[in-house]
Structure formats: C-alpha cells, structure tokens
Amino acid sequence: MSQSPMNFDPDEHFHSAPLRLTIDLPAIADNWRDMAKRSGKARAAAVVKADAYGLGIEDVGRTLYHAGARDFFVAVPAEGETLRPYAPEARIFVLSGVWPGMEQTFFDNDLVPVLASEEQLAFWMSAVSNHGDHPCALHVDTGFNRLGLPMEAAMELSSDVSRPASFSPVLVMSHLACGDDPQHPMNQQQLQSFRSVRAAFDGIEASVAASAGTFHGPDYHFDLTRPGIALYGGEAVSGVKNPMRPVATAEARILQIRSAKAGETVSYGASYRLSRDSRLATVSVGYADGYLRSLSGHGIPLRDSVSEGAFGFIAGYRVPVIGRITMDITIFDMTDVPEQAFKIGDYVELFGQNMLLDDVARAGGTIGYEMLTGMGLRYERRYVEQEDI
C-alpha cells in the first residue's frame, strides 16, 4: 500500500542521508544587510557566481532579492539565465563578458555583459549597433593583470566620439588584487588608478570593492559594492575576527565505529600509527565531496609544515581526522568522546556553527571559498527559511 501524501516527510531523505548540508537563508539575508550597511552611501550588490558559492543560486538569489538586493553578479551567462526568474527586476552582470553566439541570451534575459577585453568591446559595439541600446559594464585592469581593459585602452574609449550611440555602459569597475590585506600598498595604488578611470567616465557608476574592499571604508565604496564571500559567512579580510554569521553546515554520517589497538595503523599508506587504544569513527565523506585530501591528519606533505589536520565536531567535542582522507571516507578519532555520547548513524559536523569554515580551510592549506565551491553533488540539502527558526 502506497504511503499517503498526507504522511510524506519532506525532510526524510535529509535525516537519513550519508551527507547533508544545511543552508541558513535568513543568515545570508542578514549578512547582505550587514554589508549593505557597511557600504554607506553606496548600494550593495550580491555576488552569486559558482551556484551562489556552492549553496544554490535559485534559493540564495531569491532570498537576496527579497532582502533588497537589486544588483547581482554571476560568472557566466547560464548562471544569469537561471537567476533571472528569482530576481525579476534586478540588474544581472555577467563577469565573463560576451562572445559571438551568446548575444541573444543577453538580450532575451536582460543580462549585462562586463566587457573585459578590446575584442569583447568591438564585438559588443557591433552587436548593439544592430540590436539597439542594451546596457554593458566595463572592467578595467588597475594592476591585477587578470581580467580587464588596459588603462590606456579604457582612457581612449572614454573620449572616443566615434563609438555608437547604442553603446551604453552603466558601470565601470575594477578588482583589488590584495583586498584581503588592508595594509598592502597595492590597494592604494589600485585605488588611485581607479579614481582616474572613474573621472574619465564621468556620470557612469563605479565599483571597485568586493567583500574585502567594502571593509576598507568609504574611499573604496564608490557607487556600488560587490560582496560575495561575506554573504556566505566566509572571511573576507585576513587577520581580523570575522563579523559575518555562519551560513552553511556540512555533516557526514558515521558508518562504522571500531576499536583499534595501540601500534596499529590507520588508512592508506599506514602513515599513522596509533599511540593508544582508540575508538575510531568511519564517516561517509571524502575528497570527492570537497573534503580535501589536504585536510588529512597524517600522510600528506602539508603535515610536514602544519602539524594538525582538520577536526570535526560531535556531542560537544572536537574530534581530529586521523590518517589519510580518501575519496569517500574519512576517519575521526573519537577516543576522547564519551562512548555513550555517539553511535553509528550519528553525524559529524565538518564545518558550520562549531567548526568555522575558514578554520577548517586553513587546516587544508586553502581558503573558505574553495571549501564552499568545491562541495560535490552528494550532499542532501536543507534550506532553513525564516519560519523554520
């Protein structure tokens, strides 16, 4: 007899999944409001590229739009196309710009290409001369040497009276190479260069600050800030306490609990030998799920310079990863957790409220951005809405 829909539990799969990810949507909204306040007189956009940093562009985009965001940044046109129904009246900027064959996607979905090269600029001028007026943005390289029009080309463009009337830039922008280090002299150098660009494009809105730059204060705010990692609870500036609310909690299920004797080895390579009789939890997460091999407690080159690997959290205790992390499996040392406090089927927090995202990332020699965007497809997701709190 089939189960009645009246008895269907929408969280059933979540509560039994080997891997699960909880995304706190009100926290994302609060983080955006925080960054909007820090932006002062400037508007705060929302960067939702890479599937909203791995957390789901549809739900995150809808949440940010309802919170008040009206400017969004994505990396590629397909992301903008996905976002458009959830942010119907927003400006959606596409950071990778536009190439021949893509232009109709921009026109049909009212996407704004961020033009970053002279080739893209020439193509877009041709496209809008046939189509008619459609907004664009200009990315100018002020010293990053990554994306952007060279300063000289941007200055020439600003005074080029031959450009078509349908060419309508609505934003000129650049990006800080060392924004996460407030004391780095590169920030001031780029700021001075960008001020020259902004003056040349008088009357067009300007933006140079992503999350980190927003924290640097009003000099960097201009007309529009572009917070990204801060919205998702990650650290934007190195060496200072992170003021943002944690957003994502990743957990993995205990598949097996085993006892092992002092002197026995753990995981591939027999790289870790137990110094005491131990209780070990075999947990259903590995590097295929973005729980990086470099987080391993032992048996990898990083441990030669950083003594500890990652920790998980269960029943009020931090529990270390021991041995090498494998594709689907990680082993945690539960010896110091009271035996009655956990059982097979319980979940170990990988990062979240108790194991902060960037602390875990540092143990693997990386940053919170990579931890979030590198999660695989095997997490069962649950979105916490305001009414769930």
Q: Which residues are catalytic?
A: 49, 268
Decide: helix, strand or coil at residue 20. Answer: strand
Decide: helix, strand or coil at residue 31. Answer: helix
Q: Please give the Cα distance from 263 to 379 (Å, whole number).
A: 35
Torsion angle in degrees (nearest 10) through CA of 336, 338, 341, 345:
50
List Cα–Cα distances, 87 to 39, 65, 68, 97, in angstroms: 21, 6, 10, 20
Q: Which two structure tokens, joined as six digits, stand for 215?
A: 């924290």
Q: What is the full DSSP assignment across 223-287?
A: TEEB--GGGGT---STTS---SPP-EEEEEEEEEEEEE-TT-EESGGG-EE-SS-EEEEEES--G
Q: Please give the Cα distance from 363 to 366 (Å, whole number).
A: 8
DSSP state of 3: P
